[in-house]
Amino acid sequence: MGALTLVIGDKAFSSWSLRPWLALRQTGAAFNEVWVPLRRLETKAAILTHSAAGKLPVLHHGAITIWESLAICEYLADRFPEAQLWPADLEARAFGRAAATEMHGGFPELRRALPMDLTRKPAFLPVTPEVAVEIARITELWGLLRRRFGAGGPFLLGQFSIADAMYAPVCTRFDTYRVPLDTTCQAYVEAVMAWPAMQAWRAEANGGKA
Ligand SMILES: N[C@@H](CCC(=O)N[C@@H](CS)C(=O)NCC(=O)O)C(=O)O
């Protein structure tokens, strides 16, 4: 089928790149990474050589090119069914997909006010009421998923799934900005931050030091 190459932005800041990178790691497939530095004059032109959409991440698989983080994750789930990027249970899959889509299309205030920055020293940051509303929705959703589907492991649907890949950057934000959480959500954030693939990404974002 050809080589797998994931084109990504800076590991410290590119939250959209982190999501499919985690899913791809979970497949166990060998893949190449191409790094396009963000926030430079030449960034847009470099991205456009990979995708007409002009955004990262982009996955090349042989002659196939897929853009949009969630579409890349779904492609990986289809291409590597043995990796079980979605659980077999239809209800859990549907809830996981709804949660992933809600993340992909939502939470703009949180994303603006608490950007992913893995180089930043963790410290509490007060948030606006608008951001607090989005945080409350995320924690309500995480609590629901953990209670309903989480018995088989520490992640939203028990075992690691695309839903966790989609919320992993939110976990880094909650960790970096020391967002106060209930015990269920705090345990979930800690599980994601301790996930070996997440630790590997974070170490690379900090030049080899986690
Ligand atoms: N909806 C897109 C969002 C991608 C996105 O905004 N990527 C940022 C990097 S995290 C980007 O490409 N920024 C560079 C630019 O806009 O020129 C996805 O899910 O992949």
Q: Are residues 99 and 186 in the same domain?
A: yes
pTM above 0.85, yes or no: yes
How far is the centre of ligand 1, averaged over its atoms, from the C-alpha of 59 (Å)? 13
Model pLDDT, residue 134: 98
Separation of alpha carbons 162 and 105, rounded Å: 15
Model pLDDT, residue 208: 64
Nearest CA to ligand 1 atom 11: 55
User: pLDDT tens digits for the chain (210 residues)?
Assistant: 799 999 999 999 999 999 999 999 999 999 999 999 999 999 999 999 999 999 999 999 999 999 999 999 999 999 999 999 999 999 999 999 999 999 999 999 999 999 999 999 999 999 999 999 999 999 999 999 999 999 999 999 999 999 999 999 999 999 999 999 999 999 999 999 999 999 999 999 998 655
77 in any annotated domain? yes
Task: Kindly give, in sequence order, each residue whose CB lies less than 8 Å from that of residue 114, ignoring residues fewer than 6 positions away.
Answer: 125, 127, 131, 173, 176, 177, 179
Separation of alpha carbons 136 and 143, rounded Å: 10
Neighbours of 199 (CB within 10 A): 12
How far is the centre of ligand 1, averaged over its atoms, from the C-alpha of 65 (Å)? 16
Sign of CA dihedral 153, 155, 157, 159: negative
Return the CATH number at 14: 3.40.30.10
The one-letter amino acid code at 161 reads S
Q: Are residues 134 and 37 in the same domain?
A: no
138 in any annotated domain? yes
Domain boundary among 32, 53, 83: 83
Q: Are residues 74 and 125 in the same domain?
A: no
Q: Are residues 49 and 99 in the same domain?
A: no
| 70 CA closest ligand 1 atom index | 19
Domain that holds residue 8: 4-83
Nearest CA to ligand 1 atom 17: 44
Nearest CA to ligand 1 atom 2: 68
